[in-house]
């Protein structure tokens, strides 16, 4: 047998064995989900802003430059068949007079989702526009000295529509704060090499990711429970609901995207919690195992972020030397952002985690919701010494395994010297 086949089989066995031990409900995840079920969609969860806290920088240091990578804001999902399936099933139930009040609510909401989707896959929604508008406004008000006066800002966007509209919302918001800002805006295939550096990941990590996901089969999954939540007569419902599992999947796919269209009804309440948790867990392990610093597959995935790290370093060093730009803004996608923060060693989201601990230690609804963002704030003193602070989801964070200079502040030269070390320990 060829060596690569043996390696693949070993990876699958390690990952499957590890995750079978994980087939339990994470206390942290359950607590957060019960607090707000809309989080269950993980990377379809709308951006949740938390109160900001800033640690005072060391004496004499002032912010002068920001390097940023932002995921696009809330968007539509792919395909409308799930919404159509929910509508068709519930319309039959309505004709038979057996819809519960919850079923009536879901029918109305599913029609809204289908109408909002309007056949357009991956389209930025107005909620996504507002997310980036708000993030940019907070960035400006948090660091006004960086943008004060007639400053120049560069912004590069993925060629995908949702990223370009996000970039437009973000930069327009900055202009509202300071009309004297000058912007250099660009997009194109050349920039996709670092903005969307995920090409080829499927062949390297998909097997381990799928094994991790399938190994969660031991979790309870109450697919029949959806019938009693939607229909007053389950016996009659089973005459036209041929598969309770398919109906559960269709309701799930409708629920995870509804809030991104500003639909206020919490459709997850129309699914049994066990069904919600299992689908959340499957999504969670797939995201982490496929794109983060996984013990089983991280060494294959994380090096793909090198081009983005090199771009960050090169542009930062240029601005440190010349002062030409106040900020470099990048607008891309969730998968490259996960790999980037793993490469950089961002504490929490970029942790090195084995498969059997993913759902206990890594929660996708916090780590990669719509509008996720990494901000690197650069500070300098009169002597020219440069420090950098890392913000993830606008919250101060640290770099795992690296001693800061003071609080959350790191010497820029120390960060650069240690970049290659984060992904391997």
How many domains does one find in the chain?
Answer: 1
pLDDT for the residue numbered 19 = 44
Residue 129 is assigned to a structural domain of this protein: yes
pLDDT for the residue numbered 421 = 60
Cβ atoms of 392 and 350 closer than 8 Å: no
Alpha-carbon gap, residue 289 to 20, rounded angstroms: 15
Residue 227 is assigned to a structural domain of this protein: no
Residue 70 is assigned to a structural domain of this protein: yes
pLDDT for the residue numbered 217 = 79
Residue 108 is assigned to a structural domain of this protein: no
CATH number at 60 reads: 3.40.50.1240
Report, in this order, helix, strand and coil percent for the chain, each rounded to 5: 55, 15, 30
Residue 218 is assigned to a structural domain of this protein: no
- For 401, list phi and psi in degrees, rounded to 5: 75, 5
Strands (E), 297-424: 327-332, 373-380, 386-392, 395-397, 409-411
pLDDT for the residue numbered 425 = 55
Residue 281 is assigned to a structural domain of this protein: no
Residue 107 is assigned to a structural domain of this protein: no
Residue 18 is assigned to a structural domain of this protein: yes
- For 353, list phi and psi in degrees, rounded to 5: -125, 135
* Residue ranges in the chain modelled with pLDDT below 70: 1-22, 201, 421-425
Q: In terms of pTM, does the model score above 0.85?
A: yes
The string of pLDDT tens digits covering residues 159-215 is 999 999 999 999 999 999 999 999 999 999 999 999 997 777 677 777 777 777 777
pLDDT for the residue numbered 212 = 76
pLDDT for the residue numbered 10 = 44
pLDDT for the residue numbered 4 = 46
Residue 336's domain comprises 3-76+125-202+291-424
Alpha-carbon gap, residue 415 to 419, rounded angstroms: 6
Distance of CA 117 to the CA centre of its chain: 20
The string of pLDDT tens digits covering residues 21-67 is 457 899 999 999 999 999 999 999 999 999 999 999 999 999 999 99
pLDDT for the residue numbered 401 = 87
Task: State both tokens at 147.
Answer: 């943008």
Which distant-in-sequence residues (6+ apart) come within 8 Å of 86 by Cβ? 106, 107, 110, 247, 250, 251, 254
């Amino acid at each position: 047998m060829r060596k690569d086949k043996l390696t693949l089989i070993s990876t699958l066995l390690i990952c499957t064995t590890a995750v079978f031990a994980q087939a339990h409900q994470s206390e942290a995840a359950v607590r957060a989900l019960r607090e707000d079920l809309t989080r269950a969609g993980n990377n379809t969860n709308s951006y949740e802003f938390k109160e900001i806290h800033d640690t005072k920088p060391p004496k004499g240091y002032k912010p002068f430059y920001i390097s940023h990578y932002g995921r696009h804001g809330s968007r539509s999902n792919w395909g409308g068949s799930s919404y159509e399936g929910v509508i068709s099933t519930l319309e039959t139930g309505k004709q038979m007079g057996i819809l519960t009040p919850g079923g009536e609510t879901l029918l109305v909401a599913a029609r809204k989702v289908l109408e909002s989707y309007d056949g357009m896959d991956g389209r930025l929604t107005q909620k996504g526009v507002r997310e980036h508008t708000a993030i940019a406004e907070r960035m400006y008000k948090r660091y006004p000295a960086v943008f004060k006066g007639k400053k120049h800002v560069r912004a590069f966007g993925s060629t995908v529509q949702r990223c370009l509209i996000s970039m437009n919302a973000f930069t327009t918001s900055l202009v509202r704060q300071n009309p004297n800002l000058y912007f250099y805006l660009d997009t194109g295939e050349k920039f996709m090499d670092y903005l969307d550096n995920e090409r080829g990941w499927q062949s390297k990590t998909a097997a381990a990711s799928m094994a991790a996901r399938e190994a969660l089969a031991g979790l309870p999954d109450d697919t029949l429970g959806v019938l009693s939540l939607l229909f007053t007569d389950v016996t009659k419902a089973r005459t036209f609901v041929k598969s309770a599992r398919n109906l559960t999947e269709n309701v799930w796919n409708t629920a995870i995207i509804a809030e991104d269209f500003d639909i206020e009804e919490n459709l997850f309440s129309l699914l049994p919690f066990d069904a919600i948790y299992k689908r959340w867990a499957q999504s969670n392990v797939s995201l982490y195992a496929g794109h983060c610093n996984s013990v089983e597959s991280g060494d294959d995935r994380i090096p793909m972020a090198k081009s983005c790290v090199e771009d960050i370093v090169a542009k930062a060093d240029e601005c440190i030397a010349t002062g030409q730009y106040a900020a470099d803004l990048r607008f891309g996608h969730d998968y490259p952002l996960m790999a980037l923060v793993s490469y950089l060693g961002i504490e929490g989201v970029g942790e090195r985690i084995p498969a059997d601990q993913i759902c206990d230690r890594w929660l996708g609804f916090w780590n990669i919701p719509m509008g996720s963002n990494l901000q690197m704030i650069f500070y300098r003193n009169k002597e020219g010494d440069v420090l950098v602070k890392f913000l993830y989801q606008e919250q101060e964070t640290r770099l795992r395994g690296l001693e800061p200079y003071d609080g959350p502040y790191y010497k820029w030269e120390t960060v650069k010297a240690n970049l290659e070390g984060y992904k391997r320990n």
